Chains A and B, each alone.
Chain A
Amino acid sequence: MPEAVHHHHPALAHHFDDLAQQKEAATLGMWVFLATEVLFFGGLFLVYSVYRAWYAGAFAVASHELDVTLGTINTAVLITSSLTMALAVHAAQLGQRRLVILFLVATMALGAVFLGIKGVEYYHKFVEHHVPGPSFAFEPHEYARHAQIFFSLYFIMTGLHALHMVIGLGIMTWMLWWAWRGTITAEYYSPIEVSGLYWHFVDIVWIFLFPLLYLIGRHA
């Protein structure tokens, strides 16, 4: 590849004029990607809204089977991970390499805790035969059919959310490596910032999933 001489920052790609343009492009790219994610999860929220409106009773009863304590703990864990993520970006902006590493590790640890708790909840559902399909069983019996729609939504929504968390952990591992080897500086921190946007978005999805799945019909 015949390449123009890098007379700028080593992280500057050949087709950009300067780091500022590169950073703006990366940030806009991530925001546009997150817009696609809004519509991706939006399809699920649409399906949820239709059946919630139709089968409010069954949804309330089925929602009762979820563990609110674990759900609340997980919400707190995820919000805390968003805080540590924001602090990691802040540290990156100031070029504080050690703090960036510290906060990234904290974010990843909290993400792992979230997934662990989610796994425990999935295990409970599996044991209770609340996984939709041939082995599905639900009491009271008159709600069993519609409860199956609720649990189908529960698994697909939380499952895709968890998948996004796993991808997020992958991205964070990568960022940790970049921070470790010193690529991230006060001049070039946009990779951390852009990864942070993704992480916060995944948090926002949970902010909606938690009340819609765990808290309906609490009072029943």
Chain B
Amino acid sequence: MSEHIVPTRVYYTIFGILMLCTYLTVQIAVFDLGPLNTIAALVIAVLKATLVVLFFMHVKYSTRLTWAVVLSSVFWLGIMLALTLSDYLTRSWRTFG
């Protein structure tokens, strides 16, 4: 339950990590790492989003139902991306006939 009162120290710590991540993601982008650039950017973004969801949005202290809502929204987004890309990523494979 969000009756749980989070000490402000936690918020400041998360804020610090988020700022640090922002700095990192900008710095990493300068180096040419090939496909790793995109992966690094997305990993950092997912990490930041997770921290915001867990701590700023109190999901860490919330009911299982809240977890279920959060996870199903991400899951459905995954369905949309994965099945659509199943078309786009396989279009260039050999066609028959």
Contacts A82-B52, A93-B5 given; indicate if A197 touches B29 (C-beta within 8 A): no
| A27-35, A118-126, A136-144: which lies at the interface | A27-35
Q: How far is the CB of A115 from chain B (nearest CB, A)?
A: 19
A70-101 interface (Cβ within 8 A of B): 72, 75-76, 79-80, 82-83, 85-87, 90, 93-94
| Residue numbers in B under 8 Å from A39 (CB-CB) | 73, 76-77, 80
A215 touches B41 (CB 8 A): yes
Q: How far is the CB of A70 from chain B (nearest CB, A)?
A: 12
A178-220 interface (Cβ within 8 A of B): 193, 196-197, 200-201, 203-204, 207-208, 210-212, 215-216, 218-220
| Residue numbers in B under 8 Å from A85 (CB-CB) | 56
Q: How far is the CB of A89 from chain B (nearest CB, A)?
A: 8
A side interface size, CB within 8 A? 48
| Mask of A26-60 contacts with B, CB within 8 angstroms, 1/0 | 01100110110011001101100110011000000
Q: How far is the CB of A81 from chain B (nearest CB, A)?
A: 11
B27-82 interface (Cβ within 8 A of A): 29-33, 37-38, 41-42, 44-45, 48-49, 52-53, 55-58, 62-63, 65-66, 69-70, 72-74, 76-77, 80-81
Say what secondary structure dominates the interface of chain B: helix
A39 to B70 CA separation, bound complex (whole angstroms): 12
A22 to B29 CA separation, bound complex (whole angstroms): 46
Within the complex, which residue of A86, A196, A219 is in contact with B29, where a contact is CB–CB below 8 Å? A219
Within the complex, which residue of B22, B80, B89 is in contact with A76, where a contact is CB–CB below 8 Å? B22
Residue of A with least CB distance to B11: A86
Does A153 lie at the interface of the complex (its beta carbon under 8 Å from any beta carbon of B)? no
Does A68 lie at the interface of the complex (its beta carbon under 8 Å from any beta carbon of B)? yes
Within the complex, which residue of A46, A93, A210, A219 is in contact with B37, where a contact is CB–CB below 8 Å? A219
Contacts A39-B73, A94-B5 given; indicate if A215 touches B52 (C-beta within 8 A): no
B41 touches A212 (CB 8 A): yes
Within the complex, which residue of B11, B30, B70, B85 is in contact with A83, where a contact is CB–CB below 8 Å? B11
B side interface size, CB within 8 A? 49
Q: How far is the CB of A101 from chain B (nearest CB, A)?
A: 17
Does B84 lie at the interface of the complex (its beta carbon under 8 Å from any beta carbon of A)? yes
A42 to B65 CA separation, bound complex (whole angstroms): 22
Residue of B with least CB distance to A34: B73
Q: How far is the CB of B70 from chain A (nearest CB, A)?
A: 7
Within the complex, which residue of A28, A43, A79 is in contact with B66, where a contact is CB–CB below 8 Å? A28
**Which of A's residues lie within 8 Å of B, judged by CB?**
24, 27-28, 31-32, 34-35, 38-39, 42-43, 45-46, 49-50, 53-54, 68, 72, 75-76, 79-80, 82-83, 85-87, 90, 93-94, 193, 196-197, 200-201, 203-204, 207-208, 210-212, 215-216, 218-220
